[in-house]
Amino acid sequence: MERAKRVIRLFMKNRLAAASLVVFIIVLLFCILGPLFTPYDYSTIDVKNCWQSPSLQHPMGTDGIGRDTMTRLMYGGRTTFSITFTAVLISLLGILPGVAAGFWGGRVDNIISRINDALGAIPTFLMVIFAENMMGWGGGNYRYAMGVALIPPIVRIARSATMEVVGKEYVEAARALGVGSTGIILTHIMRNILSPIIVHVSSSLADTLVMCTLMGYLGIGVNPPEPEWGNIVHGGYAVILSKPIQMIIPSSLIVICVLSLNLIGNGLRDGLETGKERS
């Protein structure tokens, strides 16, 4: 607990990382709470107001069939973040085989590592297409394939971190006192391998968000009229010369989120490493 407080203090001292966290939270709140206050529906067509420029009535303008762009960005952000967070949460399942491989080693390590290498060799795009074919197109089901594709790096990180901890004196002392493998893993291993996993998760969120919007841009994401940042960018690309703001605004939101997540990850890494040195 004391170490966690120390890491938080160090993180908050990193002004760029702290500011990035604030910015990311603001964007999240914009997407989560914004739809509660907008008077528009993301799917309502208003042909009289097509391609409207930003105004008090439509702060971010309207699209080609008169739908309010800001409202669609709010709901689209909900979809994008839902897919992104789900995929990263699924990837955390890789912690268990990674710890098992690092803790027991030998044949267990060999089997898990070979399976992990085989899984990591499958292109993410192929897994996405397969998941969409199997589970139905347009529902965002590719999030599960993305989650599986993110497992191999987590397994490697957990395995490497566990192998470092296993040789520590306090683990040997616990074994000498008769503590079982499960007790050692829960008490000593898991607590000490969280740092690299937390840092990886923050960068993984950024990469997954980019992949999610790319899928939407290619038309593999959710079906219209359901909004998602990727298909909103695709819609804006068609009028990039005449109405550039329709692509600039959603693209800027994506860039802001990705940059914020990367800076947050850097701040966490620095805080965890400095906190570890001082402990």
Q: What is the pLDDT of residues 1-47, one digit of tens each?
A: 677 778 788 888 889 999 999 999 999 999 999 889 999 999 888 88
Q: The pTM is what? A: 0.89
CB-based contact 270:200 (threshold 8 Å): no
* C-beta separation of 100 from 112 below 8 A: yes
Q: What is the pLDDT of residue 133?
A: 81
* CB neighbour list of residue 203: distance below 8 Å, 6 or more residues apart: 261, 262, 265
What value does the mean pLDDT take over residues 204-208?
Answer: 93
* pLDDT tens digits, 52-79: 888 999 999 999 889 999 999 999 999 9
b/e 180-214 (16+ beta carbons within 10 angstroms → b):
eeeebbeebbbebbbbbbebbbbbbbbbbbbbbbb
Phi, psi of 138 (to 5 degrees): 90, 0
Per-residue pLDDT for 221 more than 80?
A: no
Domains, in order of start, for the chain: 2-278 (1.10.3720.10)
Does 279 score more than 70 pLDDT? no
Q: What is the mean pLDDT of residues 222-250?
A: 88
* Single-letter code of the amino acid located at 266: N
Query: CA 250, CA 65: separation in Å to the nearest integer?
Result: 17
| Whole-angstrom distance, CA of residue 199 vs CA of residue 157 | 11
Length of the chain: 279
Q: Residue 43: is it exposed, middle or buried by C-beta count within 10 angstroms (0-12/13-18/19+)?
A: middle
